[in-house]
């Protein structure tokens, strides 16, 4: 089902259009076009193309805009023996062409690009089901639209954790720190944020002492921020004279924990000091015992976290840019927090995500729109926000797609990786 603005499309000329790429466990990677009317009062969201060439249950997309390369991670839910990495080149109108494909350890759910061998770049993949991190060499940051397997790091636990989903190590994400010298990986099963030093000559990852989090909390995703509370809007490359904070979202405990990151003056691995911990629902009580925090993003001094399975009821009036006739909706939520200069954070508000199970979301380059991957609603919702206050305004578009939606990314960047 395609929803658009209330103004008739025939009466509005197109002012601008942006592509988005969407992955689904069912297989398709879909290109969407989001169009804003010249009246500036609404949006249209429609499918323009689709491909089924991403191998093994697409779980995560990573778009490198400078060379227009899309990396698709396949989790391998059907086989539970192997996953996949598929590389696509993307045309300006969002049509994807497969250029490379590899089998990987199974359970890939997240990926990140980091500085690798001899000035080239590398791709790291977190394998939740396979208890591993794999790395791949990307020639000239993906300019040749291919990947070469480089390193696989396997993890073990001496005993299972207190929750069923902690039966073994489950790395759920890989992120690069602001110095570009370290890689972090929240491990939901082991209650660790694993840390790795990046060899600048070879691109090899070497394990550092991990950050231990609360037992049974289940860290899922995290985000580094440089100089919180100063409206930087973007992390600096060199944080030597800046405060660096790591914000960790725990899926099982539904908490956000802030840690100050300290880098030894003589080199070596970073250390962490806890600053604050709070519920992902802020001042609100957890709606039920099935809630599961998921994604985190930071735009300027505003932190956004998605909550799954809270199944809250909202009046649709004021939420949608369309006539809702006093209806209500059942929706999970997005939480908003403001960041302070000390690294602490304050709860601001909850806003409906537009449906069930917001597994992932991403902000466009301007920060005025958030695209939400609603896994169990099988749709993508686009929500507008005030870039100054960080407040969500209303849902401006949505579209239903095939299968469980796992990620959505914007095609609106031009930064060299």
Query: pLDDT confidence of 417, banded at 50, 70, 90?
Result: low
pLDDT range class, residue 416, cuts 50, 70, 90? low
Q: Is the dihedral of CA 48, 51, 54, 55 positive or negative?
A: positive
Mean pLDDT of 297-303: 95
Count how many Cα atoms sit within 13 Å of the Cα of residue 39 in the half-sphere of its side chain.
12
Average of pLDDT values for 175-200? 97
State the chain's mean pLDDT as an integer.
90
**Which of 58, 59, 31 lies closest to 45, judged by CA?**
31
Q: DSSP of 283-345, one letter per residue?
A: TSPPS-TT-EEEEEEEETTEEEEEEEEEEEEEESTTTBSS--TT-EEEEEEEEEEEEPTTS-E
Query: What average pLDDT does the segment 168-196 reach?
Result: 98
pLDDT of residue 290 exceeding 80, the answer is yes
Question: Region 149-174: what's the mean pLDDT?
Answer: 97
What's the angle, vertex CA 206, arms to CA 204 and CA 212, rounded to 5?
A: 140
* Averaged pLDDT, 98-120: 90
The phi, psi pair for 165, rounded to 5°, reads -80, 5
pLDDT the model gives residue 327: 81
pLDDT at 38: 65
Q: Is the pLDDT of residue 2 over 50?
A: no
* Burial of 318 per CB tally in 10 Å (0-12, 13-18, 19+): exposed
- Pairwise CA distance, residues 196 & 17, whole Å: 40
Please answer whether residues 358 and 407 qualify as being in contact, where contact means their C-beta atoms are separated by less than 8 angstroms.
no
pLDDT of 320 strictly over 90: no
pTM score of the predicted model: 0.92
252-281 burial, b at 16+ Cβ within 10 Å, e below that, comes to bbbbbbbbbbebeeeeebbebeebbbbbbb
Confidence of residue 266 (pLDDT cuts 50, 70, 90): confident
Top pLDDT among 151 and 79 is at 151
241 — pLDDT class (breaks 50, 70, 90): low
User: pLDDT tens digits for 370-387?
Assistant: 999 999 999 999 999 999
pLDDT at 14: 42
Residue of 362, 315, 352, 317 whose CA lies nearest to 332: 352
Find the mean pLDDT for residues 153-169. Answer: 97
Q: Quick: pLDDT tens for 44-62.
A: 999 999 999 999 999 999 9
Nearest to 23, CA basis, from 399, 315, 402, 327: 402
Say how far apart CA 354 and CA 189 lie, in whole Å.
29
Q: Where are the beta strands (DSSP E) in 139-216?
A: 148-154, 175-176, 182-187, 192-198, 205-212
């Amino acid at each position: 089902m395609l929803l658009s603005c209330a103004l008739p499309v025939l009466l509005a000329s197109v002012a601008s259009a942006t592509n988005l790429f969407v992955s689904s466990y069912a297989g398709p990677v879909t290109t969407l076009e989001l169009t804003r009317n010249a009246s500036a009062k609404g949006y249209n969201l429609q499918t323009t193309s689709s491909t089924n060439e991403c191998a093994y249950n697409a779980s995560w997309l990573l778009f490198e805009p400078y060379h227009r390369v899309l990396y698709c991670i396949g989790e391998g839910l059907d086989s539970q023996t192997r996953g996949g990495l598929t590389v696509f080149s993307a045309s300006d109108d969002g049509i994807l062409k497969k250029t490379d494909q590899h089998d990987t350890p199974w359970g890939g759910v997240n990926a990140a690009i980091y500085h690798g061998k001899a000035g080239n770049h590398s791709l790291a993949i977190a394998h939740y089901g396979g208890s591993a991190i794999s790395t791949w060499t990307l020639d000239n940051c993906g300019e040749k639209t291919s990947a070469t397997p480089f390193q696989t790091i396997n993890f073990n636990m001496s005993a299972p954790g207190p929750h069923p989903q902690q039966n073994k190590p489950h790395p759920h994400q890989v992120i690069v720190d602001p110095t570009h010298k370290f890689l972090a990986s929240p491990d939901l099963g082991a209650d660790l944020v694993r840390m790795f030093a990046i060899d600048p000559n070879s691109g090899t990852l070497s394990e550092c002492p991990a950050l231990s989090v609360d037992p049974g909390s289940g860290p899922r995703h995290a985000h580094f921020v440089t100089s919180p509370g100063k409206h930087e809007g973007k992390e600096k490359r060199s944080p030597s004279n800046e405060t660096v904070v790591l914000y960790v979202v725990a899926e099982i405990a539904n908490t956000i924990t802030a840690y100050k990151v300290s880098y030894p003056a003589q080199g070596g691995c970073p250390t962490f000091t806890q600053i604050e911990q709070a519920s992902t629902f802020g001042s609100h009580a957890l709606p039920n015992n099935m809630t599961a925090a998921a994604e985190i993003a930071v735009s300027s001094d505003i932190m956004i976290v998605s909550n799954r399975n809270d199944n809250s009821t909202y009046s649709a009036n004021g939420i949608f840019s369309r006539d809702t006739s006093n209806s209500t909706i059942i929706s999970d939520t997005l939480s908003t927090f403001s960041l302070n200069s000390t690294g602490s954070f304050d709860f601001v508000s909850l806003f409906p995500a537009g449906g069930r199970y917001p597994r992932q979301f991403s902000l466009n380059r301007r920060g005025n729109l958030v695209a939400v991957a609603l896994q169990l609603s099988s749709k993508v919702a686009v929500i507008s926000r005030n870039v100054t206050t960080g407040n969500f305004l209303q849902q401006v578009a949505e579209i239903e797609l095939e299968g469980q939606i796992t990620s959505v990314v914007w095609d609106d960047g031009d930064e060299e990786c």
